[in-house]
Amino acid sequence: MGAVNHLSVNTHDVSVTARTRDRLLEPGEELPLGTHISTPRRGYTHHGIYVGHGKVIQYAGLAAGLHRGPVEEVALAQFARGRPIGVRFEESCLFDGPEIARRARSRLGENRYSLLTNNCEHFCEWCVRDQHHSHQVAAWLWRPLRVLRLTISALRGLLASCASAC
């Protein structure tokens, strides 16, 4: 195992968590190399891998508008954009921190971003677990199906009550 690089970060906003599996980075807390981090954005949560020395590797995605961006290394402050930083609780991490950071670096420059199939969360899940998955996408796709099922159930109930009243 390689040396672990740390960074202390202060964040005073502890009222916002990006997702329940995340916890907020505490003021003065050090980030170990290879930590899966996140930060809230409007309508979604952005993900990255901390690679030491104040740097994060992220999939830039649609950060610059409608033009997709590559996997890139940025300063932690640029990643967070002044928002709180969440630290992902990893239940089944396959790799140690240095290997996670190596995996993230291996994809620097990749430019195949896709919101539904290859986004920043897919990237981080691959670095940490060797799985290509996005919890956000799964939740977004599940919501319309759930609404449809609830609507059909309500319509069935309404039709059944109308049929029994007739």
State pLDDT tens for residues 20-56.
467 898 888 889 999 999 999 888 899 999 999 999 9
DSSP letter at 92 equals: S
As given in the structure block, the two tokens for residue 13 are 């906003």
- Delimit the domains of the chain by residue range: 8-133, 135-166
Band of residue 8 on the pLDDT scale cut at 50, 70, 90:
very low
Is this structure's pTM higher than 0.95?
no
What percent of the chain lies above the pLDDT cut of 70? Answer: 71
- 48 in Cβ contact with 70 (< 8 Å): no
Give the 3-state secondary structure of 99-121.
HHHHHHHHCCCCCCCECCCECHH
Of the options 3.90.226.10, 3.90.1720.10, 2.60.40.420, 3.40.50.300, the CATH number for the domain spanning 8-133: 3.90.1720.10
